[in-house]
Structure 1
Amino acid sequence: MHLKARIKSKEARVGIIGLGYVGLPLAIAFCNAGFQVTGFDIDPEKVILLQQGKSYIKQIGGDL
C-alpha cells in the first residue's frame, strides 16, 4: 500500500522524536486523529511519566 493510501486510511504509523513542548502535543494530535503513534525521548523521567499516562507539561491535562 502506498504512503498516501496508508495516511488516508489511518494505517500509517507516526513516530515523534522528542516529546517536549512541540513533540508531545503533536503526538497527542496524531493519536486523537486515529493514528498509531510512537514517541521517543532521551529523558527517562519524561518517559516514565508518559508510560504512566501522566503529562509533565502544565498546559496539557494531567492524564493522557
Structure 2
Amino acid sequence: MTINVIGLGYIGLPTALMFARSGVEVVGTDCN
C-alpha cells in the first residue's frame, strides 16, 4: 500500500513519518 500525504507542514510530516515507521510506503507532496 502507498499513501500520499499532501502538505508536509506541522501535521503532514509527522503523519507521514508515523505511516513510514509502521511499514507503509509514503509519498510526500508539498507546494510552496
Superposed pair shares fold, TM > 0.5: yes
TM-score by length of 1: 0.49
1:37, distance to aligned residue in structure 2 (A): 0.2
Structure 2: gaps (5+ residues): none
Which structure has the greater CA radius of gyration?
Answer: 1
More strand by share: 2
Q: CA RMSD in A?
A: 0.5
The percent of aligned pairs where both chains have the same amino acid is 44
Structure 1: gaps (5+ residues): 1-11, 44-64
Q: Higher relative contact order at CA 8 Å, sep ≥6: structure 1 or structure 2?
A: 2
